[in-house]
Structure 1
Amino acid sequence: MLTFEEKLQIIEAFPELQRKDVSLGRVNFHYDDSIFDKKVVVQHLHPNGNGFVYAANLQEYNVDEKGFVNIRDFNADELRRIIKESIKSLSPNSAAARETAIIGEGQEERWTNDDGDVLLLILEDDWWNVYSGLNLEATFGTYDDAEDYLFEEGFRLE
């Protein structure tokens, strides 16, 4: 198991993270460029070596109810990897993160055309919105109107 100091050294090597000292000698690290409200990447790194990394958007980790993974027993390579993946999952440069930020809790469908382009159809506040990436393309009052538009533009439901 890595010591607190060893974990700090690894985490502080990520220049995109900002250190925030919290109570009981614990330390958090924030990613201020996150496209989500969630900005904490490392939470409650404790002098006893315990701590957590945010991994809710990552498939290969078992997360707690808040989306964190306990890093107490991680080796140096594992710690670097999960922090790098966590930052990427919150980054505006990640396609998956952009899509998750747009969809949120809304009902959504993915539509594709023959060129492989993808549009998202999302129900938001009683409106059906069509997105291309982060850009709102069109808004419709009914699902049928949105569906007609997508078919006319050459898109099909995945």
Structure 2
Amino acid sequence: MLTIEQKIEILDSFPELQRKDVSLGRINYHYEDSAYDKKNVVYHLHKNGNGYVYVGQLPGYSPDDKGFVNIREYDADELRAVVEASISFLSTPPVVPAPKRRKPKSGPETWTGPDDQVLELKFEDDLWYLYTGLNLESAFETYEEAEQYLAEEGFVRTSAR
């Protein structure tokens, strides 16, 4: 097990981290260039050597419910590796997949359901609108969502204009 001094020496070797002394003699290290709201890489490093490093949901680690792993028993190589992984993770902006939008091939679709109810599905203004006659029944972000809803409600596609 590394001493607090050895851990501080390793953590201070990361120029991208800023040391922040906090209550009860504990130390945090922040990564100010984080792509997330989360900036703590090292949390509550204590003089007894206990402390935590943020890993989120990175594979290969077993974090607590806040995404931290305990580094009390880490050796120098393990500490460097987990801090590098944390910085790398926090440097990468989250990827938010764009919703799948399928443009209609031609015009609205007619769907028939229970009791011969007829609905019309139209793509307008980047949304899929479901109409009962002239009345709006529902709106969906993707064709797949609309299709799933209609199938769950017992409707089948009867025509595509």
Structure-2 residue corresponding to 1:39? 39
1:140 and 2:140 equivalent? no
Instruction: Quote how far apart the aligned CAs of 1:144 are.
Output: 2.1
Q: Deviations over 1:21-42 (max 9, x none)?
A: 0001000000000010000000
Structure-2 residue corresponding to 1:29? 29
Q: Distance in 2 between matches of 1:26 and 1:69?
A: 16
1:9 and 2:5 equivalent? no
Q: Which runs of 4+ in 1 moved over 2 A?
A: 120-123, 139-142
Count of residues in Structure 1 that have an aligned counterpart in Structure 2: 110
Structure-2 residue corresponding to 1:115? none
- Structure 1: state its 5+ residue gaps: 104-119, 129-138, 146-158
Q: Distance in 1 between matches of 2:22 and 2:8?
A: 14
Structure-1 residue corresponding to 2:70? 70
Q: Over alpha carbons, which structure has the higher Rg?
A: 2
Q: Distance in 2 between matches of 1:28 and 1:90?
A: 16
Structure-2 residue corresponding to 1:61? 61
| Preserved contact between residue 41 and residue 87 of structure 2 (Cα < 8 Å) | yes
Instruction: Quote how far apart the aligned CAs of 1:58 are.
Output: 1.1
TM-score by length of 2: 0.63
Structure-2 residue corresponding to 1:121? 98
Relative to structure 1, the CA distance from residue 20 to residue 64 in structure 2 (aligned partners, 3 Å threshold; closer, same or farther) is same
TM-score by length of 1: 0.64
| Preserved contact between residue 57 and residue 89 of structure 1 (Cα < 8 Å) | no
RMSD: 2.3
Q: Distance in 2 between matches of 1:12 and 1:122?
A: 42
| Preserved contact between residue 99 and residue 142 of structure 2 (Cα < 8 Å) | no
1:98 and 2:98 equivalent? no
- Structure 2: state its 5+ residue gaps: 102-124, 128-140, 145-161
